[in-house]
Chain A
Amino acid sequence: MSLVRDIFTVVMVAAGAFFFLAGTVGLLRFPDPLTRLHALTKADNLGVGLIVLGLLPRADGPIGALKLIAVWMFVQAAGATVSQLIARAARRGMSQP
């Protein structure tokens, strides 16, 4: 049982780390602000989400698990809002060069 749990954690955290890597590469390589934001939000949502999912079986008790999920929700809310604001600023900057 603990072996299954370990495998689950390793797979999920590795998948999350992969999305972080992909998001970082996209942030560095994509040509304009909107596509870079697109890459970044993948890291925020899927990366953090998968890592939290992988760590859930190791949380100490339901309170710890709830804290992990809360962290994920906060990252989602902050990331979504900030990327909207940056995108709006970028669009305004593009329309009046």
Chain B
Amino acid sequence: MTIGFALDCGVALLVVAVGGWTIVARASFAAVVGFVSFGLLVTLAWVRLAAVDVALTEAAIGSGLTGALLLGAAARLRGNEVAMRAERPGPALRIAAGLFAATVAAALAAAVLLLPDPAPTLAPAAAANAGATGLGNPVTNVLIAFRAIDTMLEKVVLVLALVGVWSLAADRGWGAAPSPPCAAGSGDKTAFLAQLLTPIGIVVGIYILWEGADNPGGAFQGGTILAAMWLLVMMAGLANAPAISRRSLRLLLIAGPGVFLVVGLGGLWFGAAFLAYPVAHAKAVILIIEFVMTLTIAATLALLLAGPPEREASP
């Protein structure tokens, strides 16, 4: 038994154990902590499978961003937790819910286990056409060129999610600035970290975006890091969250999908199909889309976490 095999077994066992612990955890805060550790362990599993792009995304989005969102939700629900316990559904409903969840899990497991071997894949086709875009990273190729419409719709969904969060605002808060979590009382330590880390984080975010052309990385991972830096600055109280009625902010939020749409329609007009890139300038077009998308992703994710606008609109 090699060390690598033992490590894989350990990671697999830990993933299952932490997953189970997260499900049975009583307090929602403990469950969120379990979920975040689960995400980090899954990240390790992706690294062991040599899927570094997926691992980066899992760490940034699956564990980091979702974990932070869930933490915020758990903190908001904390006041009601006792009342919620008292209103627990009856045993019949709980058993039915458990059975339903177990059936879904079993169906998913069966679907994975019954896949034909080798599984159907488009990887050879993607690898064969890798030269068409001038990018070296096959994952970026698929995301931004071969399946660009999926990526574009993803960005639209992100904006819709933000609209959903904003729609929770009270009438008097509409158009005002959101108040990010722990803005009050976290003190000079957070401010120090924000001052120290933010410049470096911005460089790392842009670097990951740039490296995404040829190495693991890309717009989503880079954008998430930029979003984290912006949030850190807002949470440390060094900068105020922007009012959501600001025109420049709104333009930034729709710039990513907007540029994607313009390029797509341009492909329809001048070229063969929707989102058909001009062959001679494919790389330049892709880089422009990625840069604008990174800014949009960073703004959207940071504002998702900052929550609905709560302050009174300032005159």
Contact surface of A with B, Cβ cutoff 8 Å: 74, 77-78, 81, 84-85, 88
Contact = CB atoms under 8 A, between A and B. Distances in A.
Contact of B187 (A74, A77, A88): A88
A77 B191 CA distance: 12
Contacts, number: 17
A81 B187 contact: no
Interface in B117-147: none
Contacts of B192: 81
Most buried by A among B187, B190, B192, B193: B193
A84 B197 contact: no
17 contacts: A74-B197, A74-B200, A77-B193, A77-B196, A77-B197, A78-B193, A78-B197, A81-B189, A81-B190, A81-B192, A81-B193, A84-B189, A85-B186, A85-B189, A85-B190, A88-B187, A88-B189
Given A77-B193, A81-B192, 11 more contacts: A77-B196, A77-B197, A78-B193, A78-B197, A81-B189, A81-B190, A81-B193, A84-B189, A85-B186, A88-B187, A88-B189
Contacts of B186: 85
A74 B196 CA distance: 10
A17 to B, nearest CB: 14
Chain B, interface size: which category?
A: under 10
Contacts of A74: 197, 200
Interface in B28-47: none
A81 B236 CA distance: 12
B197 to A, nearest CB: 7
Contacts of B193: 77-78, 81
A95 B81 CA distance: 23
Interface of B: 186-187, 189-190, 192-193, 196-197, 200
A52 to B, nearest CB: 17
Contacts of A85: 186, 189-190
A8 B146 CA distance: 49
Contacts of B196: 77
Contacts of A84: 189
B208 to A, nearest CB: 14
B59 to A, nearest CB: 15
A79 B145 CA distance: 40
A77 B192 CA distance: 9
A74 B199 CA distance: 13
Contacts of B197: 74, 77-78
A65 to B, nearest CB: 18
A28 to B, nearest CB: 15
Contacts of A77: 193, 196-197
A76 to B, nearest CB: 11
A13 B244 CA distance: 50
